[in-house]
Amino acid sequence: MTISPEPTAVRVDEHSFWVDLDDGRTLGVPLAWFPRLLHATPDQRADFTLSRAGIHWPALDEDVSVAGLLAGKGDCTRPHANAA
């Protein structure tokens, strides 16, 4: 069984969010991967909780797992267009 590192902090800027992990890594994630975060207000983006598995933004009903971020996955709730 593989255990994902836990998030310790999250910062959000105009284009990305940054997740500090308990193993010393920091992940930079484009907001474009998560449309609800991209279109949220700064106050909504700042209102999150951390858990062992990831980050939850209650006002946006957005949950992002560390395992998904490490696998390079964005928003999995919407179908993605196929490339031509």
Taking only the tens place, the pLDDT of each residue in 33-72 is 999 999 999 999 999 999 999 999 999 999 999 999 999 8
Nearest to 28 by CA among 38, 14, 18, 37: 18
Nearby residues of 77 by Cβ (< 8 Å), 6 or more positions away: none
55 within 8 A of 48, measured Cβ to Cβ: yes
3 state SS of 34: coil
CA distance 28 to 35: 16
pLDDT of residue 78 exceeding 90, the answer is no
The domain locations on the chain are 7-70
Fold of 7-70: NE0471 N-terminal domain-like (3.30.2020)
